Amino acid sequence: MQKLGAEHSAIREIFEQANARALQIGRENVFDFSLGNPNVPAPDCVQEELKRLVSEMPPERLHGYSSAAGLPEVRERVADYLRGTFGANARAELIYMTCGASSSLTATFGGILNRGEEVLVLAPYFPEYRVFISQAGGLMKPVRTDENFHIDAQAVEAAITPKTRAIVVNSPNNPSGAVYGAAELQALCKVLSRKSAEYGARIFLIADEPYRELTYGADVPYLMNFYADTVVCYSFSKSLSLAGERIGFAAVNADMEGAKDVFAAISGAARAAGYVCAPTLFQRVCAHSLGKTGELSVYGGNRTLLYGALADMGYACNKPEGAFYLFVKSPEPSAAAFCARAKKYGLFFVPSDSFGVEGYARISYCVKREMIERSLPAFRALAEEYGLVK
């Protein structure tokens, strides 16, 4: 734990380096593309509901405990929304309000894993999965994706053993920007069903969906509709730009056999980790703002600008289908060397190694457009150093 607490994550490390560099050469000469902190304001409906609740609701009710799983009316509204929007078999009694997607994930891993069981993750993947899965006594097992970072069902099948208890599907994907389509998800679920039957043991599908609303045209199929043993881990961090307020939910598919028991196990794990309830003010605010988002089109504009410019300069980029990350191929074998070289030009982004693939960098474009514009000469100079520019 001491090691875990003393180390920054690779992402946070780059962020700290960018800050340190800004003190040396001036903030205006540093282009920090490290973090996934939304820079779009929360929508007006959030701010208005916050003001309304604080003005109108008696504070002892507004700020009092909710039951562990959340306020009943909030859970009802979330379930209604999931049924109405996605046709999912969501039920209020299977919605657990959480302190964001990370706590949805830790409660879910804690609830479903027995010691030594394996959880598959599709590479590239969010690095904290490893921490969360270990904490629950499990073992993270990365599975490669195809050359466009989409699901390779055969690779998944080959990775499944009798110890496989779950697979995490994160779409839109951090860091690749891939959004998995219906066909590849169907192929994946077919594999999961077949192998579950073969080994006589259930394999859960954990849909980690903080970026659900951040897409550029792609549809994000709702996985409850594809596979009974699905738990959806959602966060309002990105859709409503509330990353610091820690609010989300875990939703157990009502189609699941023994859904109530799985829900109880998730509740138990949340309880054991000290999550008494999700923050009550933001439970109410989010229930009021279901289906709303901040001005996410800002990210679309950033994507067009950054992808277009970098592709023109000769960088090989994976065009993001969702989320707000550009995954760029390193012009030299080592992504770490690429990122180190970029720092000379004031460019700070994260090598892909910590995401479980080699030879790429994650450029987070949830930043001011103006910073992207100012950064382009630096990207060009870096491209010239590599001889990419034609």
Q: Which of residues 85-124 bind its own copies (CB under 8 A)?
A: 99-100, 102-107, 110-111
Q: Find the shortest distance in angstroms from Cβ 254 to its own copies.
A: 17
For its own copies, give the closer residue by CB, 120 or 250.
250
Using alpha carbons, list the distances in angstroms from residue 78 to 2, 252, 269, 288: 38, 12, 21, 10
Among 132, 222, 327, 360, binds its own copies (CB under 8 A): 132
Q: Find the shortest distance in angstroms from Cβ 383 to its own copies.
A: 31
For its own copies, give the closer residue by CB, 214 or 242.
242
- Return the structure tokens found at 138: 């499990």
Among 176, 280, 354, 364, binds its own copies (CB under 8 A): 280
Q: Find the shortest distance in angstroms from Cβ 352 to its own copies.
A: 22
Q: Find the shortest distance in angstroms from Cβ 232 to its own copies.
A: 16
Among 282, 349, 360, 379, binds its own copies (CB under 8 A): 282
54-62, 223-231, 308-316, 353-361 -> range binding its own copies (CB under 8 A): 54-62
Q: Find the shortest distance in angstroms from Cβ 247 to its own copies.
A: 8
Q: Is 245 in the site for its own copies (CB under 8 A)?
A: yes
Among 18, 33, 39, 230, binds its own copies (CB under 8 A): 39
Using CA atoms, how far apart are residues 50 and 289, in angstroms rounded to an integer?
A: 11
Among 27, 51, 194, 344, binds its own copies (CB under 8 A): 51
**Cα of 63 vs its chain's centroid, Å:** 28
Q: Which strands form 360-364's sheet, in the order they lie side by side?
A: 317-318, 325-329, 360-364, 350-351
Q: Return the residue matching tokens 């923050």.
A: 279
Q: How would you class 61 by CB atoms within 10 Å of its CB: exposed for 0-12, middle for 13-18, buried for 19 or more?
A: exposed
For its own copies, give the closer residue by CB, 258 or 377.
258
For its own copies, give the closer residue by CB, 4 or 316.
4
Q: Is 362 in the site for its own copies (CB under 8 A)?
A: no
Using alpha carbons, list the distances in angstroms from residue 317 to 4, 82, 156, 218: 32, 34, 25, 18
The count of residues interacting with its own copies (CB under 8 A) is 72
Among 59, 84, 162, 301, binds its own copies (CB under 8 A): 59
Q: Find the shortest distance in angstroms from Cβ 35 to its own copies.
A: 8
For its own copies, give the closer residue by CB, 274 or 291.
274
Among 150, 195, 246, 362, binds its own copies (CB under 8 A): 246
For its own copies, give the closer residue by CB, 1 or 23.
1
Interface of this chain with its own copies, residues 258 to 277, rule: CB under 8 A: 261-277
76-84, 150-158, 161-169, 235-243 -> range binding its own copies (CB under 8 A): 235-243
Q: Find the shortest distance in angstroms from Cβ 324 to its own copies.
A: 13
Q: Is 344 in the site for its own copies (CB under 8 A)?
A: no
Q: Find the shortest distance in angstroms from Cβ 262 to its own copies.
A: 8
